[in-house]
Amino acid sequence: MSKKQTTGLIAAAIIFVAVGVISVLTNALSSKLAQKEGDKAVSGFESFMNGLYGDDSLALADMPTARDFIAVVPVEGTIQASDNSNSIYGTTDGYNHNLLMQYVDKLIDNNYNKGIVLRMDTPGGTVYEADELYLKLKEYKEKTNRPIWAYMQSYCCSGGVYIASVADEEYANRITTTGSIGVIMSNYDMSGLYEKLGIKEVNIVSAKNKDMGSSGKPLTDEQKAIYQSVVDEYYEQFVEIVAEGRDMSVADVKKLADGRIYTAKQAVENGLIDGIKTSEEFNDYVKQKSGVDYFYEPSQTGGYLSGLFGSIASAKEKSESEVLVDLMNHLGSGVPMYYAEPIGK
C-alpha cells in the first residue's frame, strides 16, 4: 500500500473516531432537548447525519417553487438499481435510480417546471431500471403535456437510447457515440477450470433447468434456447420503443438494431436523432423553444463523508482474485441488459 493510501486510511480512522464522539454527544444532547421540544431535536440530529453521509431528499430540497424552470435529469453512468446498502461509500458510477424516480415524481407535481432535459452520458444498463425510468418519463409527459428534450454527450448507447426515445427531440454532440440497440445476457462457463482444479459443482434442484446459468456447468442447447427467448422478447420491446419514439417502422429500426454503434452523423442520417449541436447551442435552443432561461439540476446526494470514504474505498488496492470476481459480477451476472461496453473500460 502506498504512503498516500496509508495516510488516507489514517485520516479516515481519525474522522470515524471524531464522528463517533460527535454522535455520542449529539445523542445525549438530543435526548435532553427531546423532553422539551419533542421530535424537533431528533429531526435536527437526522439532518446533521444526512448532511454528513448524504440523503436523496436533500438533493431535491432546492427545487424551484417560485420561478419557471427547465429540469435537467442526468442519466450518467451504468443504469442500474441504487445500492442503498453501500450508500455510505457513495457511488462511483454517477447513476442514482431511486433519486431520478423521485425527481420525476416531484416534477410532475411542480407547476413551475416547464419541461425536462435528459442529459445522457451512459453505456446503458439493466433492462428493468431502463424500462422503469422510461415509463416514469412517459407518465410525466402524459400527466403534464410538457416537452422532453434529450442531449447525448460522450456516449448514449443501448439502455440510454431506450430512455432517450421518450423525448420529443433528441440531439447529440458531434463526437457522441450512440446506438448499440439490442440486449445481452452474459455468464461464465468455468466448468473446465473447475475440472482442472478438482472442483465439481453439485446442485440439488427441483427440475433440470433450475441451476441453468451456473458457472460450474455448461449450458445445454435447451437452456441456451430459454435464454435466447428472453433476449428476443426484450429486444422486440426495445425496437418498438425506438420505433415509436422516432416515428419509424419496426422493420426500419431492425435494420439498424444489430447491436452496432453509430457516430452522431450516422445517427442523424439514419433517423435516430434530430441533429447535432454543441452543449451551448442545445441549451440556447431549449431556451428559445420553451421561453424559459433557467435550468435546474439536483445537487449531488453524497454527503461530506460519503465522498471521502468513496475516494478511500476506490484507492484500496485489489488482489487478482478480487479483480476477477468484479469482472465476473460485471460481465457475467446473467441479468438481461441494454448495455454496450465502452471502449477502453
- If we measure between CA atoms, which residue out of 300, 299, 291 comes closest to residue 115? 291
In the chain, alpha helices (H): 3-37, 40-53, 56-59, 97-109, 127-144, 159-164, 191-197, 221-246, 250-256, 264-269, 279-290, 304-315, 320-331
- Residue 71: C-alpha distances to residues 164, 276, 334 (Å): 15, 21, 35
Question: How many CB atoms lie under 10 A from the CB of residue 240?
Answer: 13
Q: Is 345 a catalytic residue?
A: no
Q: Output the CA angle 10-14-20, nearest 5 degrees.
A: 145
Q: Give the largest CA-CA distance in the chain.
A: 70
Q: Which amino acid is at 302?
A: G
Which of 30, 82, 158, 165 is labelled catalytic? 158
Q: Is 241 exposed, middle or buried (0-12, 13-18, 19+ CB in 10 A)?
A: buried
Q: Is 210 a catalytic residue?
A: yes
Which of 32, 40, 208, 210 is labelled catalytic? 210
Cell of 71: 429540469
Query: What are the residue numbers of the active site?
Result: 158, 210
